[in-house]
Structure 1
Amino acid sequence: MASFSFFSFFLLSILLSFSPVLCTNSEGNALHVLRTKLFDPKNVLQSWDPTLVNPCTWFHVTCDSNNHVIRLDLGNSNISGSLGSELGELKHLQYLELYWNNIEGKIPKELGNLKNLVSMDLYGNKFEGEIPKSFSKLKALRFLRLNNNRLSGPIPRELTTLSNLKVFNVSHNNLCGTIPVDGPFGSFPIDSFEDNRLNGPELQGLAAYDFGC
């Protein structure tokens, strides 16, 4: 009897040693919460099984060698609904691709917690409200495309501190105020800002509200 108990304990120890790392629990839970907020007529999220601790086997999700979610690819998936603070839990995320869908509501400020984010593509949706100032914390960000939405308000001046930003597109929205010229904004083409209520490059740091934004 004692030998059987020892064998059971030994077997349990082996099984636990192969279990996914704990951090993937929070990432899987975050993605499951996201799924509950989305309408998915094409069943592109069908593989997102909440009973699995590790989301790395789900379609449209890419993980690194440590089972951390580093990429979410749901572009052009015909999904609708809204985003919430849950996406801020994907601390290792590098690529967020949600373009050409019908997602609406405000862009969560919690996306500013994704310190490893390199690319954020939210264009071609129905997002409204202002661009979160929290995006200024995304120091690794190189690509930020928010065009073809319903965003309003000024372009946050805090974004001028994103020294790695190479591509920035907010065209075809309802933004107002002036276009920043500091930092990387001095190199973005004018068509990145077209079809808004923007007044052109700012002069001597004049604030957006000076122009009735």
Structure 2
Amino acid sequence: MGAHSAAAALFTALLAFATLVSCNTEGDILYAQRQELKDINNVLASWDPTLVNPCTWVHVTCDNSNSVIRVDLGSAGLSGSLIPQLGGLSNLQYLNLHGNNLTGTIPQSFGNLTNLVRLELQKNSLSGTIPASLGNIKTLKFLRLNGNSLTGTLPLEVLSLVLVGNLTEIDCNYPGQTEDLRLRPRSGLIFSRMLENGSGK
């Protein structure tokens, strides 16, 4: 019985340690992203790397295991670029950075966010192409990229999520037009609406 209790205690300690390491890693990732951003409104003031985990930070939500599942920084007055390390937030379900002044490209590593349900990067100044790696996110339901300066075409890997995944809404635009694709809830058909002059919704 004593051996069983000791084993149980060891397992509990190892689990707690693993959770702590995970939290610290996620905190490091988010703090690294903070370092890449200009924060004129000081909305990231609570993102203190000396804290045990990022779950007490404003605009960050964690699950019961203290793992980051939501980052909500819409219209926060942020400028700068997105870092590839964000792809390491393996339990992230919601990433909202719309309405800022983000520049650069969407990292290929975002395809590693395999629990992501909602990605909102619309109304920034992002450029480059939409990563085909986003097609790896089978949980993705909402993908909003309109109001940027993206080029190229929507990757087939992403479009395939409508058929094999849960993706029900895609908003993206290219110079001179907006391609607005949605999955009709009842018929399961996709329709495409082209809007001139790059105007979004």
TM-score normalised by length of structure 1:
0.76
Is contact 2:169-2:181 (8 Å) kept?
no
Alignment partner, residue 201 of structure 1: none
Q: Which moved more, 1:156-165 or 1:122-131?
A: 156-165
Is contact 1:136-1:161 (8 Å) kept?
yes
- Partner of 2:126, secondary structure, is strand
Alignment partner, residue 69 of structure 1: 68
Distance (Å, rounded) in 2 between the aligned partners of 1:116 and 1:148: 25
Is contact 1:155-1:180 (8 Å) kept?
no
User: What is the CA deviation profile of residues 160-188 of structure 1, one whole-angstrom value per residue up to 9, with x for unaligned ones?
Assistant: 221310111013x3289x99999x99424
What number of residue pairs does the alignment pair up?
179
Is contact 1:82-1:103 (8 Å) kept?
yes
Alignment partner, residue 169 of structure 1: 171
Alignment partner, residue 3 of structure 2: none
Once the two structures are superposed, the pairs formed by residues 1-213 of structure 1 within 5 Å of their partners are 21-162=20-161, 163-171=165-173, 173-174=174-175, 186-190=189-193, 193-195=194-196
Is contact 2:170-2:180 (8 Å) kept?
no
1:90 is displaced (CA, Å) by 0.4
Distance (Å, rounded) in 1 between the aligned partners of 2:126 and 2:79: 11
1:120 is displaced (CA, Å) by 0.2
TM-score normalised by length of structure 2:
0.80
Q: CA RMSD, aligned part only?
A: 2.9
Unaligned runs of 5+ in 2: 1-13
Distance (Å, rounded) in 1 between the aligned partners of 2:68 and 2:60: 7
- Partner of 1:72, secondary structure, is strand
1:22 is displaced (CA, Å) by 1.4
Q: Which amino acid aligns with 1:46?
A: A
Unaligned runs of 5+ in 1: 1-15, 198-213
